[in-house]
Structure 1
Amino acid sequence: MSESQVHQDQEMQDKLKSLELEQRDEHSHTGRLIYWVGVLFALAHIYFNTLGTLSELWVSAIHFSGFALICALMVPAFKSSSARGRRWALTLDLAIGVVAIACTIYLILFEDALYDRGVNFITSDWIVSFVAIAIALELTRRTTGWFIPSLILVALTYVFWWGPYIDGIFGFAGLSLETVMFRSYFSSEGMFGSIARISWTYVFMFILFGAFLVKSGAGDFIIELSRCAAGRFVGGPGFVAVLGSGLMGSVSGSSVANTVSTGVITIPMMRKAGFPARFSAGVEAAASTGGQLMPPVMGAGAFIMASYTQIPYVEIIAVSTLPALLYFMSVGFYVRVEAMRSHAHAIELDTRSFGEVFKEGWHFLLPLAVLVALLIYGFTPTYAAGISILAVIVSSWLSKHPMKFRDILDALAQGSRNMATTAILLVAVGLVVNVVAMTGIGNTFSLMISEWSGGSLFIMLALVALASLILGMGLPVTAAYIVLATLSAPALYNLIAESHLIDLIMAGNLPEQAKVIFMLIDPEKYALLSAPMSQADATALIAQVPGDFKGQLLEQALNPTVLSAALLSAHMIIFWLSQDSNVTPPVCLTAFAAAAIAKTPPMSTGFMAWKLAKGLYIVPLLLAYTNFIGGETTDVLRIFVFALFGLYAFVGFMEGYLEGPLNIALRILSGVAALLMLWPHHNILIDSAGLVLFIGLFIYSRKARASSLSVA
């Protein structure tokens, strides 16, 4: 083995250590303790989300302390080869968990006393708040590395220490350390703010729902159904990976977990069919990443998005379906092209028909149907998740392996284990979100990127994508979305809404109440607003409106539906771009997990996954520049259909291959066809021209390939 290969293998092993937490043996005393604490804690959360009446602050504190104990026991403080060293590590971890619980007990017992003193700290208040924050930082360091704890420390010290020493827009007068500690631990603003509430409600209940689905056998059914649906076609194993990983990822909400669980089946399957190893790993990584974009679960980000935007969760998952399908189809197009080029063949994956497999496992779809139905009928997501968990248990009784009491306990314990690191992460990130709220730095950052973009929506999208890539090197997807949404969503929302306003002004359809604002600013402009004008003039006109008036102008000019769609589009764009940390080198954990299974170089596998996941960048452009979200049904379907063919043409341009090889000229024509169908405009003739060009290239390449095969 060469030195470079040894280096690559070592790099892969290092990355996998960050993927797979070193969990203690579940059959040991510690493992059994984690198991039973997980069971009790899952039951407690079900109670909190259904019948409980405790204050949200107390529940958030209990949520943190319980998962602090589980996380500390799951991820040892240090590794030791000696029995004595392991005992010391276990003692330290257990002490951390017990101290976290003690801090929560103190908050509950002495909260009233703190307010009776006028929020004046005594020694015990200082100790408890410092220790609790230190535990959150340490456990976050264990599970995600140093980036997030460092970010939290920088944010907290900015408020009470070095903020006043900064000149310019980022200067901050500062708050006392006592105020910072109170808001960070004892109030519903910091560790136990809105992000923590989302964690113990939406996120945990749906992770628990996913654990029950997997335990009931639904995961095996999804993979088997995908095999029967796509396995016998040319390139079918690749389509099984796309379909199976997409469906599993929607349930699990974790791209890394999805890669590890389904990749052990799909990657060898693709290699057996003739796909290159690196391509097989890239497909699995790209498809698993898309699982967090696919309704109904969509990972933790969808619930945070619902909280940030105050848009119903059911509406978010409704508008997310077609964009998610575009993403998976774009990966599928790469699979088809590579199958034709590599002469990948169909393999017999299952002797049973699709109907037989569906008949045997149709009941696994009942919980998802119950979930969607309850959401549509207006029940809260937490209530819907709780009922759906019961539906999983009941539906399993229709299978050959019904869930028994032990299986239910296993699902409860596994749900808590799956949630532990996410819960600690979300609680810790709440400290950063609190600093942004206390200092107003979010508004400052939004104004700054608005100035950098110069009013250009495209430049702003590029800035957000760059920020997402940089944050993704140190932050998990959920944390990256929280930070980006807090800092950049307002500015992105304003630009998207302004683009709709520009369309109204260009058409001369600006409402009278909005014209009044322009009249107050410049009476000479009022007469111009009744007639159509060019885009440049409309943009220049809006640029003259002071920032204080722009919000009022948007509310007067655009109806609430359009504003809601603009807000959702802004958050959806950020949510999509936040996913690129899974597949974008140099830190792409999902791709590294797939590389470990395929035994391919991690970094080159990351670049392959990045190429296959180009939909993560193209679809957000559609969300920003078209009515893909919030438009009329016919308009949305038109955008979807032409974007579908546009993505196929884009793959042909990238690969130089459709049904057969494309020379340089034809490859450029394929890029032109993609541009015509994907570039935002409102002219169906341009879309149709692109579609006709693509169909011509498709037919030509197909005939050329058939001729070359017949000659051979």
Structure 2
Amino acid sequence: MKPSNLLTFPMLLRVIQIGLSFTYVVYLLRHFFNPSSPLASVTFHVYMSVALVFAFNPLAWQGVKRWLGHAIDLGGIALSLSFVWIYHNEIRRLERHLEMIDPVLTVDMFLHVAGLILIFEAVRRAVGWSLLAVVLAFLGYAYFGGYFPGWMAFPGFSLATMTELISMKTDGIFGVTATAAINFVFYFVLFGTVFTFTGGGALFIDLAMRMTARLKGGAAKMSLVGSALFGMVSGSAIANTTSTGVLTIPIMNRAGYSKDQAAATEAIASTGGQLMPPIMGVAAFVMADLLGIPYGTIAAAALIPSAAFYFALYVIVDLRARRFGIGNVPPELLDIDPVMPRAHLLVSPIAMIVCLIIGYSAPYAALVGTVTALIMPLLRKSTRYDLRQLFDAVLDTAKQMAWISAPLAAVGVVMVVATQSNLALKFVSLLSDAGTGQLYLSLLLVIVGCIIMGMGLPTVAAYIIGSLVFVPALVDLGVDRLAANLFVLYYCVLSMVTPPVALCSYAAAGIANSDANKTGLLAFAYSLVIFIVPFGFINDPHVLWQGTAMQIAVGAAGMLLATFSWAVFLMGWMNGKLSWLERGVFLVISLALILSPTLSTVWDISVIAAVGLLLWCFTLRPRLVPVRA
């Protein structure tokens, strides 16, 4: 037999990828119409996700170790699938198991230890060592808590207890993070993938180009608008960066931005996609489960803050373009494919949003959007797709879910240890003492904590830990639970651009061929313009879509004006270079609008002052002081 006819390892791996992907996607679709028991479905999901990670991200060892790497990859896949089968056979016993009463069997402890090893290796392959190091630290604390000093000390858990807490019920690796993946995240990942593969993603980019290309700083504004639109149907910051960045980053380069500036702009723009309804990031689905409220409520509450996020970035990009004269799209790049012949593709996201608004469940709305995304392109010859694209969409959906689900399962270990050891409650007490009962001091401490966690964790992991240790302290200080969770989420989202583990920055830097750390630091610096936004919904719940239409509108207008003033203060430019006095006044106006109650006397005076200062910048000052660059 000729060597060319032999089944090579890449060919075998491709066959495995296809088989696992279709099995996984079909199972989760069947689960929507004919649900299995919670424990049965989540055990299947977790270990199938682990098998998919091994299949899609094999070890890249070379030389003599290459065959050892192949053996490890195939062994990891086989062991993961065997765990799916074992849990399937043991499910009735596990469902009847009474915690702390029924014995923990040897097979249970084996499944616990070997299963964690598989999950941890999948996490390492999916997101690197940063999250894995945190999970291992918590796991070590669970076993050796008695060796820790002071307030951190606790007796520790035995192997049997840890097995029961983490691997035998719908907690731990099978807990709220894993169930959120199969009950919410999967359906939106499926919709985003199908919509993108059938032409919707390209339509969004072209729409962004149409809307911004001829504006001042149009190259960077195209990145913002394109990332915001793509974020509406993706929720994945990495997918957002790679999908929009391949077009926007080269255009920004040609428009005068350095490689670092272009990559950083795309990274922070794509990061905001995790806050953009109707499909937010994975953390938002976990939040819905943790709070026990409909996902639609979360999406509605995030609408105005996410708009403020992109508005702030838009203002700073516009001011930078006007001050330094960069960012205009070269004329030769303005030839854009017509949008109107493809406008019918927008029906699918609109249908999904309508379903959410009228009260259908989030998974149902996502499935409606998916079916519509499959049908609408077929209505016109110019938008019809090749059925092979759907084949690739299934594989991409399974791969995205695997990369999301393995870290989510591992974070379940952190949740169990933090709660069962009372570490979370102890930390809440410490934060309350450090904040001395002062709300704003406590909020600043929470921001520092979220940013520090964000230096080494993906968004969802940082949010889950933050929700455990920070949110209860904020609630004790009188902050609404939804507002407290969104406050923590907002700053944890910045983990995607916070070095040393800044996944969005790394992805954008790879496209731009720029330095990853410089890109991350610059993207984080750009994010300063949005730091003021979360304080707005802490002080005014109307911004979270609560109250009458007039209250919501006034609250939103106040937040946008505050954000605008904050951006002007940071940039130091408004129809000319501002003096430090003028910048200081914009700063005071911004803080007063955000920190004072809406329609209070201070708030009213701040609005009047903002209008007066803008009139000064555009009418009186140009007559008195020459415009300075």
In the TM superposition, residue 272 of structure 1 has moved relative to its aligned partner by 2.2
2:273 corresponding residue in structure 1? 291
Q: Is the 8 A contact 1:659 1:702 kept in 2?
A: no
Partner of residue 71 from structure 2, selected from 84, 91, 99: 91
Residue 37 of structure 1 aligns with which residue?
20
Which letter does structure 2 place at the counterpart of 1:314?
A: G
Contact 1:661 1:701 in 2 (8 A): no
Instruction: Quote the offset at 1:71 in angstroms.
Output: 0.2
Are 1:373 and 2:357 counterparts? no
Query: Which structure is larger by alpha-carbon Rg, 1 or 2?
Result: 1
Counterpart position of 2:608: 689
Inter-partner Cα distance in structure 1 for 2:157 and 2:33: 38
Alpha-carbon distance change, 668 to 392 in structure 1, aligned in 2, over 3 angstroms: same
Note closer, same or farther for the CA distance 1:663–1:707 as it changes in structure 2 (3 Å cut).
closer
Cα 1:193–1:352, aligned 2, differ >3 Å: closer, same or farther? closer
**What are the within-5 Å matches in structure 2 for residues 226-241 of structure 1?**
226-241=208-223
Deviations 1:82-122 (A, max 9, x none): 3x533331221111121122123222213445658963234
Q: For 1:133-152, what aligned pairs fall within 5 Å after superposition?
A: 133-152=116-135
**What is the letter of the counterpart of residue 69 of structure 1?**
A
2:5 corresponds in structure 1 to none
CA shift, 1:701, in A, is 9.0
Query: Partner amino acid for 1:476?
Result: P
2:503 match: 589
Q: Which amino acid aligns with 1:446?
A: V
| 1:662 positional shift | 1.8
8 Å Cα contact 1:164/1:172 also seen in 2? yes
Letter in structure 2 aligned against 1:256: I
- Separation in 2, partners of 1:587, 1:195: 21
Alignment of 1:47-58 (within 5 A): 47-52=30-35, 54-58=36-40
Amino acid at match of 1:659: N
Q: How far off is 1:81 after superposition?
A: 2.8
1:625 pairs with 2:524: no
- Quick one: distance in 1 between partners of 2:103 and 2:592? 65
Give 3-state SS (helix, strand or coil) of 2:118's partner: helix
Cα drift, residue 706 of structure 1: 11
Matched to 2:114, the amino acid is: V
Q: Distance in 1 between matches of 2:516 and 2:93?
A: 55
CA distance in 2, matches of 1:484, 1:705: 51
From 481, 493, 500, the equivalent of 1:567 is 481
8 Å CA contact retained: 2:563, 2:590: yes
- Match in the other structure for 1:391: 372
1:646 aligns with 2:562: yes
Query: Is 2:530–2:563's contact at 8 Å kept on the other side of the alignment?
Result: no
Aligned to 2:420: 438
* CA distances 1:208-237 after superposition (whole Å, capped 9, x unpaired): 111111101111000001111111122222
How far apart in 1 are the matches of 2:595 and 2:288? 29
Partner SS state of residue 591, structure 1: helix
Cα distance between partner residues in 1 of 2:298 and 2:254 = 39
What does residue 4 of structure 2 align with?
Answer: none
Write out aligned runs for 1:215-364 (5 A): 215-344=197-326, 345-348=328-331, 349-351=333-335, 356-357=338-339, 359-364=340-345
The Cα offsets for residues 331-386 of structure 1, whole Å up to 9 and x where unpaired, read as 11111111112223353444469xx51x2122222111221222223222122222
1:265 to partner: Cα distance: 1.1
Counterpart of 1:162?
144
Instruction: Return the alpha-carbon distance in structure 2 between the equivalents of residues 661 and 185 of structure 1.
Output: 61
Measured in 2, the distance between the counterparts of 1:618 and 1:634 equals 23
CA distance in 2, matches of 1:602, 1:174: 40
Structure 2: how far apart are the matches of 1:183 and 1:46?
A: 29
SS, match of residue 613 in structure 1: helix
> Equivalents in 2 of 1:380, 1:325: separation in Å?
24
From 210, 213, 238, the equivalent of 2:192 is 210
In structure 2, runs of 5+ residues without a counterpart are 1-7
Aligned positions, number: 611
The residue that corresponds to 1:128 in the other structure is 111
Deviates most, 227-236 or 103-112: 103-112
* 1:415 to 2:397 alignment: yes
Give the CA deviation at 1:68: 1.1
- Could you tell me which residue of structure 1 aligns to residue 571 of structure 2? 655
SS of residue in 2 equivalent to 1:397: helix
Task: Check the 8 A contact 2:131/2:457 in 1, yes or no.
Answer: yes
Q: Deviations over 1:225-258 (max 9, x none)?
A: 1111111122222211110011112322222221
Report the Cα offset of residue 700 of structure 1.
Answer: 4.9
C-alpha separation between the residues in 2 aligned to 1:704 and 1:207? Answer: 55
1:382 partner amino acid: P
Mapped to 2, the partners of 1:417 and 1:181 lie a distance apart of 28
1:444 Cα deviation from its structure 2 partner: 2.4
Query: For 1:26 and 1:290, how far apart are their aligned partners in 2?
Result: 39
- Measure how far apart 1:429 and its partner are: 0.9
Q: CA deviation at 1:170?
A: 3.2
Asked if the contact 2:536/2:594 (under 8 Å) is kept, the reply is yes
- The CA distance in 2 between the partners of 1:184 and 1:212, in whole Å, is 34
Per the alignment, do residues 608 and 474 of structure 1 end up closer, same or farther by CA in structure 2, a change over 3 Å counting? Answer: closer
Q: Which amino acid in 2 is paired with 1:390?
A: V
1:607 maps to what in 2?
521
Alignment deviations for residues 286-317 of structure 1 (CA, whole Å, 9 cap, x no partner): 11111111100011111111111122211211
- Which residue of the other structure, out of 484, 489, 496, is the alignment partner of 2:466? 484
Task: Give the letter aligned to residue 43 of structure 1.
Answer: V
Cα distance in 1 between the residues matched to 2:560 and 2:434:
33
Task: Report the equivalent of 1:108.
Answer: 88
Do residues 580 (structure 1) and 494 (structure 2) align?
A: yes
Q: Distance in 1 between matches of 2:192 and 2:97?
A: 44
- Counterpart amino acid of residue 503 in structure 2: L
Matched, 1:70 2:36: no
Instruction: Give the equivalent residue in structure 1 for 2:596.
Output: 680
Deviations 1:183-218 (A, max 9, x none): 211211121112111111211111111111110111
- After TM superposition, give the deviation of residue 318 of structure 1 in Å: 1.2
Give how far 1:466 is off: 1.4
On the 8 A contact 1:329/1:644 being kept in 2, the answer is yes
Q: Secondary structure at the match of 1:101?
A: helix
Which deviates more from structure 2 when the two are superposed, residues 25-34 or residues 320-329? Answer: 25-34
The CA deviation at 1:611 is 2.4
Whole-angstrom CA distance in 2 between matches of 1:72 and 1:258:
24
TM-score using structure 1 length: 0.81
Deviation (angstroms), 1:680: 2.4
Whether the 8 Å contact between 2:463 and 2:489 is mirrored in structure 1 is yes
Other-structure match for 2:441 = 459
- How far is the alpha carbon of 1:165 from its aligned partner? 4.3
The answer as to whether partners of 1:68 and 1:100 remain within 8 angstroms in 2 is yes
Paired with 1:701 and 1:342, the residues of 2 have a C-alpha distance of: 23
CA displacement at 1:279 relative to structure 2: 2.8
Determine the C-alpha separation between the residues in 1 that align with 2:611 and 2:383: 52
Name the amino acid aligned to 1:90. Answer: H
Structure-2 change in CA distance of 1:484 and 1:99 (3 Å): same
- The residue that corresponds to 1:80 in the other structure is 61
Output aligned runs, 1:691-710, within 5 Å: 691-700=610-619, 703=622
Task: Tell me, in whole angstroms, the C-alpha distance in 2 between the residues paired with 1:122 and 1:273.
Answer: 65
